[in-house]
Amino acid sequence: MTYLLDTHVFLWWITDNPKLSREARKVISDPANDLFLSTAGIWEIMIKTKIRKIGLPENSKEFIVDQISLNAINILNISIDHSFEIYSLPEIHKDPFDRMLIAQAKIEGLTIISADSFIRQYEINTYW
C-alpha cells in the first residue's frame, strides 16, 4: 500500500517520538509499504527549524536527506494539479502545508498517516 506521511509523523518516526501510534509505526516499518514525504513537508520542516520551532541537529538538511534515504521514503513533488486541487478543498483545515498534503493525497490516491483530526475530516483515506 502507499502512504503519505504527514510532516509530524515523519518527524516523530525519525526521532522515535512516543507520540507516534503503534499502528503507524507498524505501517511505516513494513517494507511492503511505499512511503512518501511531500516537498511541502520538507519546506515546512525547514521553515520551523529556522525559527526554532523544531529542534533538529545543526546540519538539518543532511539529517533529513539521510533519514529519507535510511527509511526508503520517496519524495512527492508538488505539481500544478496538486496546486489547483487546493481550490476545490472545503475550508476545514487552514494550515497551507496540510492543505497541500490533502490535495496531493486526493490527486495521487494516497493514504495520509496523520494524528491531525482536521485532515481526517476530508474525503481522503487516512490512517492513524
Residue 68: exposure state from Cβ atoms within 10 A (0-12, 13-18, ≥19): middle
CATH topology of domain 2-127: Rossmann fold (3.40.50)
Domains of the chain, by residue range, sit at: 2-127
Span 13-44, pLDDT tens digits? 999 999 999 999 999 999 999 999 999 999 99
Residue 119: exposure state from Cβ atoms within 10 A (0-12, 13-18, ≥19): buried
The pairing of strands 126-127 and 2-5 is unpaired
- Give me the pLDDT at residue 36, please: 98
Average pLDDT of the chain?
95
Quick one: pLDDT band at residue 57, thresholds 50, 70, 90?
A: confident
Quick one: pLDDT band at residue 50, thresholds 50, 70, 90?
A: confident
Quick one: pLDDT band at residue 51, thresholds 50, 70, 90?
A: confident
- Give me the pLDDT at residue 38, please: 98
pLDDT of 60 over the 90 cut: no
Q: b/e for 54-63, b at 16 or more Cβ within 10 A?
A: bebeeeeeee
Span 66-84, pLDDT tens digits? 999 999 999 999 999 999 9
Quick one: pLDDT band at residue 56, thresholds 50, 70, 90?
A: confident
> pTM above the 0.85 mark?
yes
